[in-house]
Amino acid sequence: MNLERMEELLFYRNLLETDFVQDLKADAPYASLSRLFQNYSTMPKETNLWHIFLADFLLQDENSLSLSAEKKGWEHFSYPEFIQREMEILYSLYHLNLSFFFPKEQKAIDSVFKGKAAKTEHFPSYSYEAQLLSFNNKLEAAKDALEFSSILEMEYKEHGVGLFRCHSAFSLETENIFGTSSSEYYLKGLPLQKYPGFSTLLGYEKEISALKENTEAFLAGKKANHVLLYGDAGTGKSSCMKALLEEYQSKGLRFVSLFKKDLEGIPFLLQTLRERPYSFILYFDDLSFENFEVEYKLLKAVMEGGLEGRADNILLYATSNRRHLVKENLSDKNDIEYQEDLHHSDTTEEKLSLADRFGLSILFQKPAYTLYQKIVLSLANKYKLSISEEKLLTMANAWSIRRGAATGRTAEQFIQSLLVQKKD
């Protein structure tokens, strides 16, 4: 078999448009080989790079067949008779030996196209590379097209396909539409990484428990609330959100990191996310509005839902130093004072009502000084600092006085300053 069979694909036709295949079709095999080396240079030496390329493509290609499997499996697909046909073609392509494209390099090229399953320990377990290797190893073990099909369907059902399968956190970006002055939104996947867990957040057990309980209900498809974490700066609100993603991303939790400038893109997000089988949190860090900013009204519409209703798989989580998010003035409380707004008290209520739409508000207060000391000692132990406890706490006390705060952030900054000075 050769690459001509690829033209018979019905659902995975994007394979034909990949640069790798385009180079092969243009009789430029060395350009294709160069792409494999560039894209998969970190793979273990024994890996078959053609297999890795095809496995990578299968994990990322969003088409009617892969999206159907992600949502509810192929048993509900409208044209089941064509699924096995597609799988037979893919199975044959997967086992195609591309060495014949390189007759002058036969000895060296075998190491590229005749490799076998490789150990995933080569990469951190959370990384996409480890997930790709693990998936490819399953495909390597498939004895026929039917088993190949079952592996692929199960992978889609359990882990999804495309952007949301390959990333757990995203940012909202815009790009200009060619030939116009307009722009359109798109989601950019952020690199997979390991975040510090909840165990690093000392002294906030009750707050963390409330946050986790709400999130677990959300992941289980039950009713859950929008969440506001508010309170003093440096108390771990943002760290708590990262720990949340670390703990639940394997269970289908996805974060979209947003800023105030992204508010107008929320309708795009709702349309894009509501039909995907993941649990999405639209995450605003350090959210607040000044008096002259009215964008907060867009948030209220999202939280209540429009004509389509509130999306069951989307919640809004925010952190803020302000309880009511919108800046309040003394004049807001004075209905007698002359105001241009004749219904001034209604305006004030409108501002305050934004925070009320967060069904769960969790207060993070500055820790007691003894807890600050406990955090310092815990971090010093984590980084194996060989300083006596008495000296360490004396230095930490001086540091907190200079900084004007004794919070978890202050403790972490203090330990970081000692690590900078530490000699190997």
Residue with tokens 């409380």: 333
Residue with tokens 């007698």: 336
- Ranked by mean pLDDT, the top range of 57-71, 319-333, 380-394 is 57-71
Positive or negative: CA dihedral 228, 232, 233, 235: negative
Q: Which CATH architecture has domain 198-364?
A: 3-Layer(aba) Sandwich (3.40)
Q: What is the pTM of this model?
A: 0.82
User: Under DSSP, is residue 229 helix (H, G, I), strand (E, B) or coil?
Assistant: strand
Residue 186 bridge partners (DSSP):
173
**How is residue 7 annotated by DSSP?**
G
The per-residue DSSP string of 241-286 comes to HHHHHHHHGGGTEEEEEE-GGGGGGHHHHHHHHTTSSSEEEEEESS
pLDDT of residue 338: 47
Contact 343, 351 (CB under 8 A): no
Paired tokens of 69: 């499997």
> What distance lies between CA 347 and its chain's CA centroid?
37
Residue 1: CB atoms within 10 Å: 11
**How is residue 94 annotated by DSSP?**
H
Q: Which amino acid is at 18?
A: T
pLDDT band (50, 70, 90) for residue 294: confident
Instruction: List, for residues 114-158, the tens digit of each pLDDT value.
Output: 766 677 777 888 888 889 999 999 999 999 999 999 999 999 999
pLDDT of residue 400: 87
Contact 212, 302 (CB under 8 A): no
pLDDT of residue 180: 67
Mean pLDDT score of the chain, rounded to an integer? 85
Q: Which amino acid is at 11?
A: F
Paired tokens of 204: 């906030």
* Rounded Cα–Cα distance for residues 150 and 85 (Å): 13
